[in-house]
Amino acid sequence: MTDERVARAALSRLTEPGDPRVAGVVEEVGAVRLHDDVVALRGERELDRDAQVRVARLDPERELEEAAAQGIRFVIPGDAEWPRQLDPLSHVEELQQMSGRPLGLWVKGPLRVDELDGAVAVVGSRASTTYGEDVARELAAGLARDGRCVVSGAAFGIDQAAHRGALALDGPSVAVLACGVDRAYPAAHRELLARLGSVGAVVAEVPLGCAPMRMRFLARNRLIAGLAQGTVLVEAAVRSGALNTASWTTRLSRPLMGVPGPVTSAQSQGVHHLVRSGAAALVTTSADVLEVVGAVGEHLQEEPREPDRPRDRLTRRHRQVLEAVPVHRPADVAAIARTAGIGLLAARTALAHLAKGGFVVDTEEGWRLGPAALGVPQPDPFPA
């Protein structure tokens, strides 16, 4: 009887990733039985017609050996290193009908893919703007600072910026590819992929040597969403491929987040649409992301605000008088009282209080605004 790992390696060569028929049969009868069936009864199932060409060249044992020689392992369900966060792909009925769990993951790199708890996917347009790349890099760096793994697709644009942001802080990062992990796609990212393979992980569902194809990108996107606890969409035009990763995140019932941008930027339009429709939460910093994906209460942020100013603790009356003191010239108490619309005595009392706090100064020409009113930092005159 065929070994489970060998059967899965063979099936990953024989079939296209994300094919729900394959995943469904594997869940039902097991990979070994499907494998033996395909090899023995070629031509009798619809599935087999696609596979005939591949079956002829099949040698899974040798593929596994050659991969191992290149430091590449094939992680399958049941392995200690299997990332269980992918299991809903087969165990949730709606997801099973659309795709299913991968047969296995070809992994290159020291990072164990079962230790990505709390990983965050940061994805977006290939045709990104400088703004988007800057934000992706900053976000990823912030996540790395929190010890979070950054998952992305190593594509041009947002993806590469996210990986680089994490790597810059020596943070863990995983690239999920639509081609074999021994290939560099895009070729311009050969060095980036080599770096990820030496300090993080490069992962693919398709075996070594496979070329990236459109459908493989779609299947790959479900793994980016599936490996992460939540997905941040940094930039996406209305029809960006990154929206596919966003959909998978939602189907997986995991938090989807979007970074806003100028409404005049086509690259932010898809993100704004998701936020507007309520599908994505708006995030602007890694702290926002951690608040969304973190354990409840773990990363609750304080509302952003500037520190209290002594001015805020003035009474209504005192503020009324302070506002009546002219900015450019001194004024006497009668003029100030008139402008403030209050009596002389009340104005005089208020001015005395304001003078204590440095808000006004009594000069020979009359009352002037003091340093505290002009924004000069002061020791707090009225401690709370």
Interface map 211-250 toward its own copies (x if CB under 8 A) = x-xxx----------------------xx-----------
Min dist. Cβ of residue 79 to its own copies (A): 26
The single residue among 71, 110, 343, 371 that binds its own copies, judged by CB under 8 A, is 343
Nearer to its own copies, 188 or 238 (CB): 238
Subset of 286-305 contacting its own copies (CB under 8 A): 288, 303-305
Looking at the Cβ atoms of 47 and 169, the one nearer to its own copies is: 47
**Angle CA 99–103–105, to nearest 5:** 110
Q: Is 329 in the site for its own copies (CB under 8 A)?
A: no
Minimum CB distance to its own copies smaller for 77 or for 258: 258
Task: Compute CA distances 31 → 35, 87, 107, whole Å.
Answer: 6, 16, 20
Distance CA 218, CA 224 (A): 10
> Nearest to residue 39, comparing CAs of 62, 7, 63?
7
- Tell the smallest beta-carbon distance from residue 282 to its own copies (Å): 5
Instruction: Give CA–CA dist 276/254, Å, rounded.
Output: 18
Quick count: other Cβ atoms within 10 Å of Cβ 46?
7
Q: Least distance from C-beta 331 to its own copies, angstroms?
A: 12
Q: Is 50 in the site for its own copies (CB under 8 A)?
A: yes
Residue of the chain from 323, 332, 365, 380 that contacts its own copies (CB under 8 A): 323
As a whole number of angstroms, the distance between CA 99 and CA 21 comes to: 8
> Is residue 320 near its own copies by the rule CB under 8 A?
yes
What is the three-state SS of 291-352?
Answer: HHHCCCCCCCCCCCCCCCCHHHHCCHHHHHHHHHCCCCCCECHHHHHHHHCCCHHHHHHHHH
Kindly identify the residues of this chain, within the stretch 159-188, that bind its own copies according to CB under 8 A.
none
List the one residue from 3, 4, 16, 87 that touches its own copies (CB under 8 A).
16
Per-residue x/- mask for its own copies, residues 101 to 140, rule CB under 8 A?
Answer: ------------------------------x--xx-----
With contacts defined by CB under 8 A, name the span among 22-30, 63-71, 224-232, 336-344 that binds its own copies.
336-344
Q: How many CB atoms lie within 10 A of CB 221?
A: 26
Q: How far is the CB of 283 from its own copies (least distance, A)?
A: 7
Amino acid at 91: H
Q: Hunting for tokens 């899965």 — which residue is that?
A: 8
What is the C-alpha separation between 62 and 55, in angstroms, rounded? 14
Closest approach, Cβ 260 to its own copies, in A, equals 3
Cβ closest to its own copies, residue 54 vs residue 62 = 54
- What is the spatial distance between Cα 2 and Cα 303, in angstroms, rounded to a whole number? 59
Which CA distances in Å does 43 have to 24, 262, 370, 381? 19, 55, 92, 89
Tokens in use for 156?
């041009």
Nearest CB to its own copies, comparing residues 110 and 209:
209
Among 51, 167, 225, 331, the residue binding its own copies under the rule CB under 8 A is: 51
Cα-flanking dihedrals φ and ψ of residue 291, to 5°?
-65, -35
By the 8 A CB rule, do 173 and 200 touch? Answer: yes
Site track 247-286 with its own copies (rule: CB under 8 A), x = hit: ------------xxxxxx---xx--xx-xxx---xxxxx-
Residues in contact with its own copies by the rule CB under 8 A? 16, 49-54, 131, 134-135, 211, 213-215, 238-239, 259-264, 268-269, 272-273, 275-277, 281-285, 288, 303-306, 316, 319-320, 323-324, 337-339, 341-344, 346
